[in-house]
Chain A
Amino acid sequence: MSLLELDGVKVHFPVKKGILFDRTVGHVYAVDGISLSVEAGQTYGLVGESGCGKTTLGRAVLRLVDVTDGRVVLDGTDVAQLPEKEMRSFRRRLQMVFQDPLGSLNPRQNIESILSEGMAAHGIGGNREERREKIKEILAKVGLPGNALSRYPHEFSGGQRQRIGIARALVLEPDLIICDEPVSALDVSIQAQVVNLLEELQKSMGLTYLVIAHDLAVVRHISDVIGVMYLGSLVEEAPSDALYEEPRHPYTRALMSAVPVPDPEVEDRRERILLLGDLPSPANPPAGCRFHTRCPWKQDTRCATERPELRDLGGGHRVACHFAAEIASGEITRTSGEVVPAAHEGSGGSGGSEASGAPRASGASGGGAAKGSSSGERASEAPAGT
């Protein structure tokens, strides 16, 4: 049995309006029916562009936001249904590493106080001395010296702070750690350091991770299974390598086409699928397939009316697209959208008229899940090259 199982999890935020007292006028469907499972000792990567609900999903698992519907089962216990009091002691088994290393540490607490607080709340380590020993042990594991104890968060660098955040999660010896964009706020050189540390800790302590990120390279490196989210739901889920080698959902294909390839010859031939339009508002999601408004393979039947379920296409590769098989076999070709050679990306007027400039820009932001790595650099270099 899997360590963590999500079954039809929904998180809807009420939209309120009112002069004196607020009235609910609608909902933001941040997470809208997600089912997935994370195996013990493995890493599940969750990717998607900003606003797709991946952070909310992570918080729902920790019950930092209330789950509207569905079940979040950790090791046989439904976290979403636990009474407040039991939930508090259950939190020991679920921990989180945050995106902003400085913001996630209380600036007025020193490191010892930050790390011992959780232990005190759960009665781990009888007295101060025992706790201090344990903290020193954990600090050594994340590569911080014992004399860090009396120092304050602002005295550390970004990477060091993130390692403190990881240490805070580790002191409670959790089963599952949710890493919400664990490296996106760090320099690239430090990113590798932290990712390697996470992997090392997983091996030595048998941890299970749910990694939420938008950086496809990081996710591929660290994950065993990857889920791709779009507008509050999962569109594709597959073992890491399978997803990168053969993305089956149109959205995933567009995302993957934004990832640069290290081989210059392949890179020259790489084609970029540009998505049209913006991410629709999660307060008013499109009917049918959530992606049909931007899908380059959109069909006249089913897409706009029927919401696709995740279907297993073999080998644990699950896709939520009515026509995934047909697209893969080439029976269906693109009906809209634009494909440009990646090498010309960002070079202004090369691919079309002025009018196509706007959708292209938003198409690039659709592929923004891959931002950071190198598409930005390419864009700035391209004009010089042409």
Chain B
Amino acid sequence: MIEVENIHKSFGDNHVLKGISTVFEKGKTNLIIGQSGSGKTVFIKCLLGLFEPDEGQICYNGQYYSKLSTKERRNLRQEMGMVFQGSALFDSMTVEGNVMFPLDMFTNQSQSEKQDRVDFVLKRVNLIDAHKRYPAEISGGMQKRVAIARAIVMNPKYLFCDEPNSGLDPKTAILIDNLIQEITQEYDITTVINTHDMNSVMEIGEKIIFLKNGFKEWEGTNKEIFKTDNKAVTDFVYSSELFKKVRQMYIEERN
């Protein structure tokens, strides 16, 4: 579980995060949504410890990040997995090398143990024959799956995903969403996903936080987002004609 208490973050005069408080629950897919420039990426980077909040606290299973020593922070980072928007795979390494990298860096496992673990996670993300291929040689969807495999290879307690299905076709995007949700439930981890994708919101949004201009504007589930009358949320979620019709049908059904 991650508890966020009143965090603020500024860059010069630009006040990006303005007192955000929330709780990201264990075993659930928590989504952060909002327009571009609303502070989603800065928020997730604060959660990852890449940015230090100017004010407020972030607490990981009872450990306040700001009170941890450098070594404790390093250890905490090893409990985090991150799937970046562009996958951020190491170009010079094969798929197998990318997934094995955290094991090489942080464990003293034998080569065969590491290989078994890599084979297991690659199979888990449905990548069987890509071990020896380089990131440039595989599709965007496969790159995302490699990134997920790399993120979960160390059995993380926290999984962060920055727009995991951006640039993917709708079918692959749904596969990636489902994979993340399955992994979250299977390993009972705290997953936080930063997304623009309304399909993701509807499919896997067990908890949703809507950010607007650095404030937390709304919080709820994918079921509650249908019912909300919050104008900022409805303007954002139902900006497309398709979702306007979906909502209309939902309201008609309810009445």
Judge: A and B partners, yes or no: no
